[in-house]
């Protein structure tokens, strides 16, 4: 049978994809309700639900261009293959922390997966002032397991290099190379910020010490194929509820520097921390949300190092990898580079393309500007002083102080 040519799905044709899967019983096929629910920048997301049993699934399809910009920005469909493949990889070590993949088709650029509509997107939950007790432990566990099992601490060098090839993701990496590590640091037309921030931004553009560090971080991103990264681990890629955490949307997955994912998580919690000063008016509530955010950063890093160390102790066999000091050096380098990457992400989300709604939704203009300036100062500080950080509480103290 000839494979159908790629075509963007719609509410009707999506049924042709799911019918052969026998997910819904055949009697209910006439009761299926389809809705496009995507709120992301790049892809179509359909929810298909049986109106009788309430059973549902998700069909995510990549478009041959970036939805946020339009057809003038073509983007490879191969990212759908990467996404479903990364979800399957992650499920090998942390199946409880990712959506189940029911089916994928690289031809149609489609991933059919578990419906998580009983969860909320973490960014939204945090802006509303909610806290999630499992978050730190779950993200630390996710990051440590996906890192260790994809790294040279665990894999045979042949298998590792095979995976580096499989997760080669040049076009999506280029988006990060440009939007995170380049454009915000120059007067580039993708940048977006109010005129009142111009002098703060020009300070960044003319800071040679800062630019040198950013160039070094960008070089790391380009060259250090250490672990299989999620690649886009901001608070919009995490689904949460009281008793569950799920990491979604790994279409940016590739082999990169180990500190990168945690940095994005920390940076987005930091931006939310700043925005809480405006969003959560009641002082006791604000204090408790902000201390939750800082504790989450601390506990995530603790969980990460403890879990990674335990895996290293139990599952690494190569004698060089087991040499005294190798693990400690890896963790220290990962930590300090994460501080630098986090600084880049904080700056990018404030003045580059694709802001965070945490700061953008601050209603009073002068307060929004005040916290955006704080974000730029904090981001610059983290980038320039990354190697001075020796403990996670030093980081959370700086965030608290900002």
* Best CA proximity match to 135, nearest among 293, 280, 356, 314: 293
Considering CB distances under 5 to 8 angstroms, the limit depending on partner class, which of Mg ion, ligand ADP, none binds residue 245? none
Q: What is the pattern of x (binds ligand ADP, CB under 6 A) and - over residues 298-337?
A: ----------------------------------------
Does 116 appear as a known binding residue? yes
Does 115 appear as a known binding residue? yes
Binding segment for ligand ADP (CB under 6 A), chosen from 114-122, 181-189, 270-278, 320-328, is 114-122
Cα separation, 329 vs 335, whole angstroms: 10
Compute the 3-state secondary structure of the chain and give helix, strand, coil in percent, each to the nearest 5.
Answer: 55, 15, 30
Minimum distance of Mg ion from residue 199's CB (angstroms): 19
Considering CB distances under 5 to 8 angstroms, the limit depending on partner class, which of ligand ADP, Mg ion, none binds residue 114? ligand ADP
Helix, coil or strand: residue 17: helix
387-391-392 Cα angle (round to 5) = 110
Site for ligand ADP in 42-71 (CB under 6 A): 42-43, 45, 58, 60
E-state strands within 168-297: 227-229, 238-241, 244-247, 254-256
Minimum distance of Mg ion from residue 321's CB (angstroms): 33
Cα separation, 176 vs 160, whole angstroms: 23
The secondary structure of residue 59, as a DSSP letter, is: E
Minimum distance of ligand ADP from residue 61's CB (angstroms): 10
Q: What is the pattern of x (binds ligand ADP, CB under 6 A) and - over residues 237-266?
A: -----------xx-x---------------
Q: Quick one: how far is CA 139 from the chain centroid? A: 11
Rule CB under 6 A: say whether 354 interacts with ligand ADP. no
Does 209 appear as a known binding residue? no
Burial of 100 (0-12, 13-18, 19+ CB in 10 A): middle
CB 47 within 8 A of CB 37: yes
Between residues 240 and 311, which has the closer beta carbon with respect to ligand ADP? 240
- Residues in the site for ligand ADP, rule: CB under 6 A? 37-43, 45, 58, 60, 99, 113-117, 121, 248-249, 251
Could you list the residues known to form a binding site, using ranges.
Answer: 43, 60, 114-116, 232, 249-251, 348
């Amino acid at each position: 049978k000839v494979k159908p040519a790629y075509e963007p799905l719609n509410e009707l044709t999506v049924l042709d994809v799911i019918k052969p899967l026998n997910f819904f019983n055949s009697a209910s096929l006439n009761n299926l309700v389809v809705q496009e629910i995507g709120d992301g920048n790049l892809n179509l997301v359909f929810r298909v639900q049986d109106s009788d049993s309430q059973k549902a699934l998700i069909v995510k399809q990549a478009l041959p261009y970036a939805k946020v910009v339009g057809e003038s920005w073509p983007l490879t469909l191969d990212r759908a293959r990467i996404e479903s493949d990364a979800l399957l990889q992650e499920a090998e070590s942390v199946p409880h922390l990712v959506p189940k993949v029911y089916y994928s088709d690289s031809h149609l650029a489609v991933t059919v997966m578990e419906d998580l509509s009983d969860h909320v997107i973490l960014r939204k939950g945090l802006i509303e002032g909610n806290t999630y007790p499992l978050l730190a432990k779950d993200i630390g566990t996710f990051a440590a397991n996906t890192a260790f099992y994809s790294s040279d601490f665990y894999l045979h060098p042949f298998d590792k290099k095979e995976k580096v090839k499989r997760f080669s993701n040049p076009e999506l990496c280029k988006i990060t190379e440009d939007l995170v590590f380049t454009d915000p640091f120059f007067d580039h037309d993708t940048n977006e910020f109010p005129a009142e921030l111009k002098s703060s931004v020009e300070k960044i553009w003319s800071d040679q010490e800062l630019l040198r560090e950013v160039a070094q971080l960008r070089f790391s991103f380009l060259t250090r194929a250490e672990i299989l990264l999620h690649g886009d681990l901001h608070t919009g890629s995490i689904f949460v509820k009281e008793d569950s955490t799920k990491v979604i949307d790994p279409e940016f997955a590739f082999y990169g520097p180990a500190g990168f994912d945690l940095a994005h998580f920390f940076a987005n919690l930091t931006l939310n921390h700043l925005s809480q000063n405006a969003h959560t008016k009641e002082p006791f509530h604000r204090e408790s949300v902000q201390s939750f955010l800082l504790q989450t950063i601390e506990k995530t890093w603790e969980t990460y190092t403890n879990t990674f160390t335990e895996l290293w102790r139990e599952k690494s066999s190569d004698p060089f990898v087991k040499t005294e000091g190798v693990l400690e050096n890896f963790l220290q380098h990962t930590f300090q580079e994460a501080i630098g990457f986090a600084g880049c992400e904080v700056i990018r989300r404030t003045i580059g393309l694709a802001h965070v709604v945490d700061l953008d939704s601050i209603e009073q203009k002068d307060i929004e500007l005040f916290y955006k300036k704080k974000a730029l100062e904090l981001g610059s500080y983290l980038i320039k002083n990354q190697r001075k950080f020796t403990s996670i509480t030093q980081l959370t103290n700086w965030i608290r102080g900002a």
